[in-house]
């Protein structure tokens, strides 16, 4: 844990770094502090940043998510879940976002291959500007579950 004196030193010097080494040391101390706090809280959901347009670690759930398609515009998903799928025959890895569509939503909905502009899912960094496969599954009670799948660019 950072001491109060060390934290005050970092705050005081944040606008006047004399060297990149000093800045690197402070950043590493703060990241170590963050990792320790997350470990204490038992947070297991993965990192908050992504590399090279890839999303963060799965599985993850949230209360709602907003999805924007190129042609269809924005849709809200209720109870969305992100999970990794098994690799296909060729060894490609896929990820899936699934969630319930609101009951009052009517009209045509995206299906098949669609262009996904972005996804806002609290707590995760999601890929943007990619082609995805969209499917909607109705249930007996009239609810509809939307799944959005995309190929991961990097193997695990």
Q: 49-53, 67-71, 109-113: lowest mean pLDDT where? A: 49-53
Highest mean pLDDT among 20-29, 30-39, 114-123: 114-123
End-to-end CA separation in angstroms for the chain: 31
Please give the pLDDT value at position 86. 87
DSSP state letters, 85-129: EPP-TT---EEEEEEEPPTT--S----EEEEEEEEE-TT-----S
Q: Can you tell me the mean pLDDT for 121-126?
A: 80
Would you place residue 126 in the very low, low, confident or very high pLDDT band (cuts 50, 70, 90)?
confident
SS3 66: strand
Please give the pLDDT value at position 51. 44
Its pTM stands at 0.60
Give which of 123, 121, 144, 122 is closest to 134, Cα–Cα.
144
pLDDT tens profile 24-33: 777 777 777 7
> Is the predicted pLDDT of residue 120 greater than 80, yes or no?
yes
126 is written with which tokens? 């999601």
Find tokens 């109705």 and name the residue.
138
Would you place residue 59 in the very low, low, confident or very high pLDDT band (cuts 50, 70, 90)?
low
Please give the pLDDT value at position 8. 77
Residues 64 and 76 sit within 8 Å (Cβ to Cβ): yes
68 is written with which tokens? 């924007």
> Is the predicted pLDDT of residue 145 greater than 90, yes or no?
yes
Per-residue b/e over 73-98, b at no fewer than 16 CB within 10 Å? eebebeebbbeeeeeeeeeeeebbbb
Using DSSP bridges, classify how beta strands 94-100 and 112-120 pair: parallel, antiparallel or unpaired: unpaired
Give the C-alpha distances (Å, rounded to integers) separating 136 from 87, 98, 99, 123.
22, 9, 10, 24
Would you place residue 130 in the very low, low, confident or very high pLDDT band (cuts 50, 70, 90)?
very high
């Amino acid at each position: 844990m950072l001491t109060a004196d060390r934290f005050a030193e970092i705050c005081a010097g944040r606008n006047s770094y004399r060297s990149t080494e000093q800045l690197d040391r402070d950043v590493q101390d703060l990241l170590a502090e963050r990792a320790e706090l997350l470990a204490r809280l038992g947070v297991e959901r993965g990192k908050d940043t992504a590399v090279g347009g890839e999303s963060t670690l799965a599985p993850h759930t949230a209360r709602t998510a907003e999805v924007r398609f190129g042609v269809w515009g924005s849709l809200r998903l209720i109870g969305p879940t992100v999970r990794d799928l098994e690799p296909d025959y060729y060894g490609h890895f896929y990820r899936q976002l699934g969630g319930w569509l609101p009951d009052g939503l009517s009209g045509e909905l995206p299906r098949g291959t669609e262009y996904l502009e972005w996804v806002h899912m609290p707590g995760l960094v999601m890929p943007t500007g990619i082609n995805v496969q969209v499917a909607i599954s109705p249930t007996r009670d009239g609810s509809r579950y939307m799944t959005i799948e995309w190929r991961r660019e990097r193997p695990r």
